Structure 1
Amino acid sequence: MFNDLPLLIVFVCVISLLLFIDLRMIGHKQKKMGLKESLVWSGIWIGTALIFMVLIYFFEDNGKLKAIDFISAYLIEKSLSVDNLFVFLMIFDVLSIAEEKQHYILSWGILSAIVLRLLFIFAGVALVNLFHPILYFFGIILFFAAYKMAFGNEKKIDLENNFLIKFISKKYKVLSDYEENKFFVRKNGQLFITTSLLALILIESADIVFAVDSIPAVFAITLDPFIVVTSNLFAILGLRALYFALAGIVVLFKYLKFGVAVILAYVGFKLIAIDFIHISNFVSLFIIISVLALSIIASIISKKKEESIISQ
Structure 2
Amino acid sequence: MFLELLPWALFMLFVFAMLALDLGVFHKDAHQVERREALAWSAVWIGLAIAFNIGIYIFRGTEDGLEWTTGYLVEKTLSVDNIFIILLIFSAFAVPQAYQHRVLFWGIVGALVMRAALIAVAGVLLSTLHFVIYIFGAFLIFTGIKFLREQDHQPDLERHPVVRFANRIFRTSHEYDGQKFFTRKNGLLYATPLFVTLLLIEATDLVFAVDSIPAIYAITDDPFIVFTSNIFAILGLRSLYFVLAGYLSGLAYLKPALAAILVFVGAKMLVIDFYKVPSLASLAVIATILTVAIAASLIVARRRAAVLEKAPALAPESGH
TM bracket (short chain)? over 0.9
- Which whole-Å CA distance do the structure 2 matches of 1:2 and 1:56 have between them? 19
The alpha carbon displacement at 1:130 in A equals: 1.1
- Which whole-Å CA distance do the structure 2 matches of 1:104 and 1:145 have between them? 31
SS in 1 for 2:157: coil
Instruction: Tell me which residue corresponds to 1:244.
Output: 242
Instruction: Tell me which residue corresponds to 1:131.
Output: 129
- Which whole-Å CA distance do the structure 2 matches of 1:78 and 1:2 have between them? 31
The alpha carbon displacement at 1:284 in A equals: 0.4
- Which whole-Å CA distance do the structure 2 matches of 1:179 and 1:30 have between them? 13
Instruction: Evaluate the alpha carbon distance shift between residue 208 and residue 89 of structure 1 in structure 2; reply closer, same or farther with a 3 A threshold.
Output: same
The alpha carbon displacement at 1:6 in A equals: 5.1
- Which whole-Å CA distance do the structure 1 matches of 2:121 and 2:184 have between them? 39
- Equivalent residue runs for 1:193-204 within 5 Å: 193-204=191-202
* Contact 1:251–1:299, Cα closer than 8 Å, also in 2: no
Instruction: Tell me which residue corresponds to 2:138.
Output: 140
Query: Percent of pairs identical after alignment?
Result: 40
- Which whole-Å CA distance do the structure 1 matches of 2:25 and 2:286 have between them? 36
- Equivalent residue runs for 1:29-40 within 5 Å: 29-40=29-40
Instruction: Evaluate the alpha carbon distance shift between residue 128 and residue 147 of structure 1 in structure 2; reply closer, same or farther with a 3 A threshold.
Output: same
- Equivalent residue runs for 1:35-184 within 5 Å: 35-60=35-60, 63-184=61-182
Instruction: Tell me which residue corresponds to 1:16.
Output: 16
Instruction: Tell me which residue corresponds to 2:255.
Output: 257
- Which whole-Å CA distance do the structure 2 matches of 1:250 and 1:40 have between them? 19
Q: 2:214 aligns with which of 201, 210, 216?
A: 216
Indicate yes or no: 2:223 matched with 1:225.
Answer: yes
Instruction: Evaluate the alpha carbon distance shift between residue 149 and residue 307 of structure 1 in structure 2; reply closer, same or farther with a 3 A threshold.
Output: same
Instruction: Evaluate the alpha carbon distance shift between residue 2 and residue 91 of structure 1 in structure 2; reply closer, same or farther with a 3 A threshold.
Output: farther
TM-score w.r.t. the length of structure 2 is: 0.92
SS in 2 for 1:173: coil
Cα deviation code 1:197-225 (max 9, x no counterpart): 11111111111110110000001100100
Which has the higher Rg, Structure 1 or Structure 2? 2
- Which whole-Å CA distance do the structure 2 matches of 1:223 and 1:3 have between them? 20
- Which whole-Å CA distance do the structure 2 matches of 1:2 and 1:71 have between them? 27
SS in 1 for 2:172: strand
Give the root-mean-square deviation of aligned CA atoms: 1.8
* Contact 2:89–2:157, Cα closer than 8 Å, also in 1: no
SS in 1 for 2:167: helix
TM-score w.r.t. the length of structure 1 is: 0.94
Cα deviation code 1:98-147 (max 9, x no counterpart): 11111111111000000000000000000111100100000111011101
Instruction: Evaluate the alpha carbon distance shift between residue 6 and residue 293 of structure 1 in structure 2; reply closer, same or farther with a 3 A threshold.
Output: farther
Q: Where do 5+ consecutive residues of structure 1 fail to align?
A: none
Q: Which 10-residue stretch deviates more, 40-49 or 157-166?
A: 157-166
Q: Where do 5+ consecutive residues of structure 2 fail to align?
A: 311-320
- Which whole-Å CA distance do the structure 2 matches of 1:155 and 1:54 have between them? 41
SS in 2 for 1:87: helix
- Which whole-Å CA distance do the structure 2 matches of 1:155 and 1:232 have between them? 28
Cα deviation code 1:34-85 (max 9, x no counterpart): 000001111111111011110011112xx10001000100010000001101
Instruction: Evaluate the alpha carbon distance shift between residue 56 and residue 7 of structure 1 in structure 2; reply closer, same or farther with a 3 A threshold.
Output: farther
- Which whole-Å CA distance do the structure 2 matches of 1:208 and 1:247 have between them? 21
SS in 2 for 1:24: helix
SS in 2 for 1:182: coil
